[in-house]
Every structure is written in structure tokens, then in C-alpha cells.
């Protein structure tokens, strides 16, 4: 398990244990975290799993693939450096302690 912290737009904090090999989106969905909708179920085709990664974690995440980058154009209030689609981040031990902020709303 890897600890991931999801912070809602209203500041409410959720610390969740996410299993290795699953995605950050699945960790939120499976724990009922408000703010991640994931309408496409993780197929990188909806942009409703958008979250903003805390600054200190940006460089530790795998690089965005072109499909994720393209889909982020449809997300609400993105930040070029911090925005990610959480279905595209697979959890492993290097991400233990990851912190993300959820947007005010999804696309
Ligand atoms: Fe649809 Fe991530 S769940 S793009």
C-alpha cells in the first residue's frame, strides 16, 4: 500500500492507502473521495479525473504521455506544471506520500 493524500477544493483532507499497481484515480474512486468523477473509467478519454499535484511531487511522477497531455486541454482550470489525469498515474512505492489537490469542479 502507498499513502496518497487527496485535498478537496474546500480543504478537506483524505489520507488513503492505495494498493500498488492501481492508479491514483482508482484510489480516489474506491474510497469515495469527492471531486474525482472518472467518467471514462480510466481510459484517458474524459478528463474528469483531473487533479493538481503538489509542487514537490511534480518531478517524481512519470512524464505525461501525449494522450494525457491532449486530454488535459478539456479539463477545468489546469496548471501546465501541476495538472495530471489521475488515471494515468500508477501507484508504486516511489509515490508513497503523494499529495494532490482536487479542482473546484471537473470538466
Ligand atoms: Fe477518464 Fe481519467 S478517468 S481521463
Average pLDDT of the residues in 95-103 = 97
Q: Is the CB of 40 under 6 A from ligand 1?
A: yes
* Cα-to-chain-centroid distance, residue 24: 5
What sign does the CA torsion over 9, 76, 30, 68 have?
negative
3-class SS of residue 54:
coil
So what's the pLDDT on residue 107? 78
Q: Is the CB of 87 under 6 A from ligand 1?
A: yes
Laid out side by side, the sheet with 13-18 consists of 13-18, 2-7, 98-101, 50-53, 83-85
- What is the C-alpha separation between 72 and 89, in angstroms, rounded? 14
Structure-block grid coordinates of residue 74:
478539456
* Cα-to-chain-centroid distance, residue 60: 14
2-7 vs 13-18, strand pairing mode: antiparallel
So what's the pLDDT on residue 79? 97
Q: Which residue in 100, 102, 40, 42 sits closest to 77, CA to CA?
A: 102
Q: What is the position in ligand 1's atom list of the atom closest to the CA of 38?
A: 3
Q: Is the CB of 47 under 6 A from ligand 1?
A: yes
Domains and CATH numbers, the chain: 2-97 (3.10.20.30)
Mutation to probe ligand 1, out of 38, 65, 74 (largest number of atoms < 8 A from CB): 38
Write out pLDDT tens, residues 51-86: 999 999 999 999 999 999 999 999 999 999 999 999
Q: What is the position in ligand 1's atom list of the atom closest to the CA of 40?
A: 1
Say if pTM beats, i.e. exceeds, 0.75: yes
Amino acid at each position: 500500500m502507498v499513502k496518497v493524500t487527496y485535498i478537496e477544493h474546500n480543504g478537506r483532507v483524505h489520507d488513503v492507502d492505495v494498493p500498488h499497481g492501481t492508479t491514483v484515480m482508482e484510489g480516489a474512486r474506491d474510497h469515495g473521495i469527492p471531486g474525482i468523477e472518472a467518467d471514462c473509467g480510466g481510459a484517458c478519454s474524459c478528463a474528469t479525473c483531473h487533479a493538481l499535484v503538489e509542487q514537490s511531487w511534480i518531478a517524481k511522477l512519470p512524464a505525461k504521455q501525449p494522450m494525457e497531455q491532449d486530454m488535459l486541454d478539456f479539463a477545468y482550470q489546469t496548471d501546465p506544471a501541476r495538472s495530471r489525469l489521475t488515471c494515468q498515474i500508477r501507484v508504486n512505492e516511489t509515490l508513497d506520500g503523494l499529495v494532490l489537490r482536487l479542482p473546484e469542479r471537473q470538466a
